[in-house]
């Protein structure tokens, strides 16, 4: 037997169906209640019951690393430049930037990463198939796009006021490509492309890049690079280059442009040999000793003439390096039973010595720190090759190569900015791996972010990024 019971809560009546039944266990009559809903019309027994829908979890995605990167990029002045240059392709660019930084693997795996990441919701419509990626790289490899990017980037975002550091590295590969040529690299002859890189001295930010055929030597590329930088408004007062760029034409070109420089003098030059013979004999004296971190060096400064101009020669002796090199040389010379005593004495004299040439006077304690600013470029090359996996190259058109190198260049800029923001306590790889452990669950109409761990909270607070608890779809 059933009947309807009404209960009032607030200003609404609620209806319940009450059914009487006999409890055979307790041996007595009992009632069970069934909720019918809010009373709409009591006489006609019309009730409205709101169905409570159960949210169904669809999938779990990596969340923290991509969300952090996207928010970090949006918070940089670089973001407005990217929007202006890449326009409707901004989402696609951001998805590939996040892929290069979060999971630097071959481009043909980008789609797998995208499907398992919050990227599929943050960067909707970015079809990361191999063909679509190639088309995108070709589009941003357009010479007009590249010029527009560097014009905006170099005038609005970075300004090289105190000089630049220029260096190059080899990108070995086995692809059929017009710029691929045999070249010397780390003691080997490889098919390669030369990647020339320019960095701002005062900020360590990447400024510019060029790519050259693998058989183009460094000395022939410096003057062209300086001219191209001037076209983008970079008027350098100082250039730091390695000995690979040392040539009469390059030095005279820098003289003509009135650009100061610091470079290492190749040991094959006559001036190098003359300086060693004149100055090395009394170099190891206490009044020439200079502290460089935990190392003790001997440094002498001398005026000399280089291709018609007065310059400063800095003769630097590292005692530890001299010991290692001398021991090896003596053992090899005795085994080979060399007879030319004059040549042996000269080779012994130059062990552990390098000579730097500058067009301006430096304090003796500043000479080595100035030169080792080149390590900035070496580290960036390391990041490009190791963290961003710039090689092996898998492109077959010049436009695609330009686009790929531009994508890597922008990723490297973000990498440097993020490293600067996070400080020395963490590496970029460490924070991105830590943040990748922050997952999210996707439902029909909502994304729910999981709890933020202590280490993750420290990172987002350091970067001033707010992690959401949920997101709409």
pLDDT in tens, 254-286: 888 888 889 999 998 999 999 999 999 899 999
Does residue 387 surpass a pLDDT of 80?
A: no
Q: 3-state DSSP call for residue 381? A: helix
Higher model confidence: residue 24 or residue 51?
24
Alpha carbons 204 and 208: distance in angstroms, whole number: 12
Q: What is the pLDDT of residue 278?
A: 93
Please report which confidence band the pLDDT of residue 225 belongs to, taking 50, 70 and 90 as the band edges: confident
pLDDT over 70 for what percent of the chain? Answer: 85
Q: What is the pLDDT of residue 283?
A: 94
Does residue 429 surpass a pLDDT of 80?
A: yes
Which class for 143: exposed (0-12), middle (13-18), buried (19 or more C-beta within 10 A)?
exposed
Query: What are the residues facing 158 on neighbouring strands?
Result: none
Q: Which whole-number Å values give the CA distances from 459 to 61, 67, 338, 430, 464, in the listed order?
A: 20, 13, 61, 10, 9
Please report which confidence band the pLDDT of residue 205 belongs to, taking 50, 70 and 90 as the band edges: confident
Alpha carbons 211 and 374: distance in angstroms, whole number: 19
Q: 201 is written with which tokens?
A: 């001295």
Q: What is the pLDDT of residue 335?
A: 79
Alpha carbons 112 and 235: distance in angstroms, whole number: 44
Q: Are 21 and 32 in contact (CB under 8 A)?
A: yes
Does residue 394 surpass a pLDDT of 80?
A: no
Q: What is the pLDDT of residue 376?
A: 65
Please report which confidence band the pLDDT of residue 191 belongs to, taking 50, 70 and 90 as the band edges: low
Cβ count near 408 (within 10 Å): 23
| Closest of 133, 144, 58, 146 to residue 99, by C-alpha | 133
Across the range 86-115, mean pLDDT stands at 89
Angle between helices 398-422 and 143-152 (to 10 degrees): 20
Across the range 48-63, mean pLDDT stands at 71
Which class for 179: exposed (0-12), middle (13-18), buried (19 or more C-beta within 10 A)?
middle
Q: What is the pLDDT of residue 150?
A: 93
Does residue 444 surpass a pLDDT of 90?
A: no
Lowest mean pLDDT among 33-47, 126-140, 254-268, 404-418: 33-47
| Closest of 171, 88, 170, 159 to residue 123, by C-alpha | 88
Across the range 435-453, mean pLDDT stands at 93
Higher model confidence: residue 30 or residue 237?
30
Higher model confidence: residue 171 or residue 330?
330
Does residue 202 surpass a pLDDT of 80?
A: no
Does residue 162 surpass a pLDDT of 90?
A: no
Query: What are the residues facing 165 on neighbouring strands?
Result: 199, 240
Q: How many residues would you count in the chain? A: 473
Q: Are 354 and 276 in contact (CB under 8 A)?
A: no
Lowest mean pLDDT among 189-198, 242-251, 396-405, 425-434: 189-198
Task: State the virtual CA torsion across 96, 101, 102, 107 in degrees, nearest 10.
Answer: 40
Please report which confidence band the pLDDT of residue 389 belongs to, taking 50, 70 and 90 as the band edges: low
Average pLDDT of the chain, as a whole number = 84
Q: Which whole-number Å values give the CA distances from 418 to 239, 337, 369, in the listed order?
A: 26, 56, 24
Please report which confidence band the pLDDT of residue 179 belongs to, taking 50, 70 and 90 as the band edges: low
Across the range 413-436, mean pLDDT stands at 90
Does residue 52 surpass a pLDDT of 50?
A: no
Alpha carbons 173 and 412: distance in angstroms, whole number: 21
pLDDT over 90 for what percent of the chain? Answer: 38
Alpha carbons 280 and 172: distance in angstroms, whole number: 39
Q: What is the pLDDT of residue 8?
A: 78
Q: Are 54 and 28 in contact (CB under 8 A)?
A: no
Across the range 180-184, mean pLDDT stands at 58
Alpha carbons 175 and 46: distance in angstroms, whole number: 76
User: Against a cut of 0.85, is the pTM above it?
Assistant: no
Q: What is the pLDDT of residue 20?
A: 82
Across the range 312-319, mean pLDDT stands at 95
Q: Are 348 and 317 in contact (CB under 8 A)?
A: no
Alpha carbons 289 and 22: distance in angstroms, whole number: 105
Q: What is the pLDDT of residue 438?
A: 96
Q: Are 217 and 172 in contact (CB under 8 A)?
A: no
Please report which confidence band the pLDDT of residue 32 belongs to, taking 50, 70 and 90 as the band edges: confident
- Out of 81-90, 374-383, 386-395, the most confident range is 81-90
Q: What is the pLDDT of residue 3?
A: 83
Relative to beta strand 164-172, strand 238-241 is parallel
389 phi-psi bin (left φ>0, alpha ψ -120 to 50, beta other): left
Higher model confidence: residue 23 or residue 456?
456
């Amino acid at each position: 037997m059933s009947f309807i019971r009404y209960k009032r809560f607030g200003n609404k009546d609620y209806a319940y169906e009450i059914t009487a039944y006999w409890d055979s266990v307790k041996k007595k009559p009992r009632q069970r209640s069934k909720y019918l809903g809010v009373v709409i019309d009591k006489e006609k027994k019309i009730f409205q019951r709101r169905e409570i829908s159960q949210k169904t979890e669809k999938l779990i995605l990596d969340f923290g690393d991509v969300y952090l990167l996207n928010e970090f990029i949006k918070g940089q002045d670089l973001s407005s430049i990217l929007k202006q240059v890449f326009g409707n392709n901004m989402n696609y660019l951001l998805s590939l930037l996040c892929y290069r930084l979060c999971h630097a693997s071959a481009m043909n795996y980008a789609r797998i990463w995208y499907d398992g990441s919050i990227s599929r919701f943050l960067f909707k419509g970015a079809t990361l198939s191999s063909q679509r990626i190639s088309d995108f790289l070709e589009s941003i490899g357009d010479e007009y796009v590249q010029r527009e990017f560097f014009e905006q980037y170099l005038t609005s975002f970075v300004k090289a006021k105190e000089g630049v550091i220029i260096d190059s590295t080899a990108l070995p590969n086995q692809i059929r490509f017009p710029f691929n040529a045999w070249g010397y690299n780390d003691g080997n002859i490889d098919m390669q492309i030369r990647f020339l890189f320019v960095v701002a001295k005062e900020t360590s930010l990447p400024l510019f890049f060029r790519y050259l055929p693998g058989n183009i030597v460094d000395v022939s590329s410096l003057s062209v690079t300086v001219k191209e930088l001037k076209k983008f408004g970079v008027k350098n007062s100082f250039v730091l280059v390695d000995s690979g760029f040392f040539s009469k034409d390059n030095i005279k070109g820098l003289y003509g442009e009135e650009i100061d420089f610091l470079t290492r003098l190749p040991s094959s030059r006559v001036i190098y040999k003359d300086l060693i013979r004149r100055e090395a004999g009394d170099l190891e004296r206490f009044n020439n000793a200079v502290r460089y971190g935990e190392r003790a060096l001997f440094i002498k400064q001398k005026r000399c003439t280089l291709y018609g101009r007065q310059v400063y020669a800095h003769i630097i002796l590292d005692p530890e390096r001299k010991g290692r090199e001398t021991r090896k040389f003596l053992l090899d010379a005795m085994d080979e039973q060399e007879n030319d005593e004059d040549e042996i004495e000269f080779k012994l004299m130059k062990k552990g010595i390098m000579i730097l040439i500058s067009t301006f006077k430096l304090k003796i304690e500043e000479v080595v720190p100035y030169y080792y600013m080149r390590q900035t470029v070496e580290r960036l090359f390391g990041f490009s090759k190791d963290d961003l996996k710039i090689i092996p190259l898998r492109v077959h058109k010049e436009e695609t190569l330009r686009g790929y190198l531009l994508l890597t260049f922008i990723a490297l800029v973000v990498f440097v900015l993020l490293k600067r923001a996070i400080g020395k306590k963490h590496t970029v790889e460490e924070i991105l791996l830590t943040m990748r452990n922050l997952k999210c669950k996707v439902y029909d109409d909502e994304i729910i972010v999981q709890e933020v761990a202590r280490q993750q909270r420290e990172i987002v607070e350091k970067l001033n990024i707010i992690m959401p608890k949920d997101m709409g779809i």
